[in-house]
Structure 1
Amino acid sequence: MILVFGSLNMDLALSVERLPKPGETVLGPSYVLTPGGKGANQAVAAARAGAETRMIGTIGDDEFGRMALASLQRQGVDVGGIGKGTKPTGCAAILVSPQAENQIGVASGANLEAKGDNVHNDRLGPGSTVLMQMEVPEAEVWALAKRAKARGARVVLNLAPVRPVPPASLKDLDVLICNEHEASVLITSLGAPAGRDPNQMIGALAKALGLTFVITLGAKGAIAATPTEVWMVDALQIKPVDTTGAGDAFCGAFTAALDRRTPIQGALERANVAGALACMALGAQEALPRRQTIEEKLLSSPRAFRLN
């Protein structure tokens, strides 16, 4: 089972003719209001990818919270770990250009009250995977990672948005997923010279940290390293509509594959496909692909190849 500890938001996505400059107003023809938040998105992505999934987080006692909760329930996500806080449900404003580029602002709201203690010890063990991001309080993330690791659970962290990672907490992670910017910030914080290419260091970092290190490369695909292997997969050739949920689709599908004990190269391939498919529609959760679609597309998609 996958236990997702993270954020729940409602996303207001606006299609605009181009992304605005500071102080500029840009018009667009329409908008959509959809459930979001990296935690909720990744929970839906994992569930659609075929994993039994439980969401743990906090919403407000408001209509946005009820909408977020109902969406997760419709997707088959167990919502028993979601509580109500004193703040309003988190909300994100997303501007999307015709080139599928975006600008995002997030009001954290009730996500600031999320508690890792709501992941009970009896759910943590060798048969469970804990998936986390950085849109909830950092201290709660590190505390849950430590507790989950001690009880034998697999611990997966998507370092987004990027935050400093205490060196001791790296030992509590089994899988670390970053994009190129997040990976660059991380390796600089670990003492590497600024500007070093994380893709050239990923194998050494995975070995030194004792974990699986995954970097998504956008149009260049993705790369994953265990302490002994480095794998890469090329991106699918697509015409993106909205890239908002691509990273969450990748994380959810990758974690779901690991939860099924899929080898690292197979997990990388499926996550690569899921991330690409999520770019084909507007919105985050609505665009997340299902397992059957991922497996069908996988047949005609690039295969992972080993670099070492």
Structure 2
Amino acid sequence: METLSNLECFVRTADAGSFSEAARRLGLTPAAVSRNVAMLEKNLAARLFHRSTRRLTLTEAGERLREGIAGNLEELQSALAAVSTGRLEPAGTLKVSMSPSIGMGWLMPVLPAFLARFPRVRPEWHFENRQVDLVGEGYDAAIGGGFALRQGVVARRLAPAHVIAVASPGYLRTHTPPGHPSEAGNAGWIALRSLQSGRIRTWVMRNEAGAEVAVDTPPALVLSDPAAVREAALLGLGIAMLAVPDVLPHLEQGSLVRVLPDWHADVGVISLYYASRAQLPAKTRAFVDFVTDAFERDRLAERFAALPSNA
């Protein structure tokens, strides 16, 4: 019978493609991970990895083993932990990727309540504006928009992803705002340059009647981070196009005002992503339920929608 540590080291190495990265995720030394994998290969009398100086790749036998055990490993670990403690309680490291605006603005405030309910869960939250590989990078879940749904990944809708035009009251006192998206060329736009593509983001705005107008005008200022774009708008440097969650508190406080209140850009939905399994690990299920409950309780789907009432 193989030890759980040997199997876990094998699966994490297969996911990461290297002993060193697997060791980092497991909190072990690379030598210990390599030793456990070598022991597993010896016991099975089969080579599981092709080894090179740059990367490890699975052999045919390794692929078969990974397919057979990877989906059940965390469930087995949770079951063993439950038996050893006598409690069916969520536990372990919870690695989640989320955008900074959603994470810091809307989920960090409810983290104390989550930890009070699930004290044996240790959150490891990554605030990043990128699409992560849930399985390959060892994430339990991710929150964002537009993720490619690889086989075995579930997307649970949380709220619409709407982008609106905003400016500070001070800016609007000294500048005439556009009355229609076609007049955007006369406004001082603060643009966002994508770090992934290197291009300046352009938007197609629409209204409730279904009309669409492309906003693609030379910007007065270009920044590379949504938070910086928001700060520039707060400083009265121009009009910014930002996601509703990024600016909603400032709209409610009055430090930002909506421009073109009948128009918005629809960029999809904000979803909660996690790997599909017959039985989710208890820590992941607890997080999924907690986040969806928080969105429902605080009516975030409704509040994140770019309706004229949000102006």
TM class, shorter-chain normalised? under 0.3
Q: TM-score, normalised by structure 1?
A: 0.22
TM-score w.r.t. the length of structure 2 is: 0.22
The higher radius of gyration belongs to 2
Structure 1 or 2: larger helix share? 2
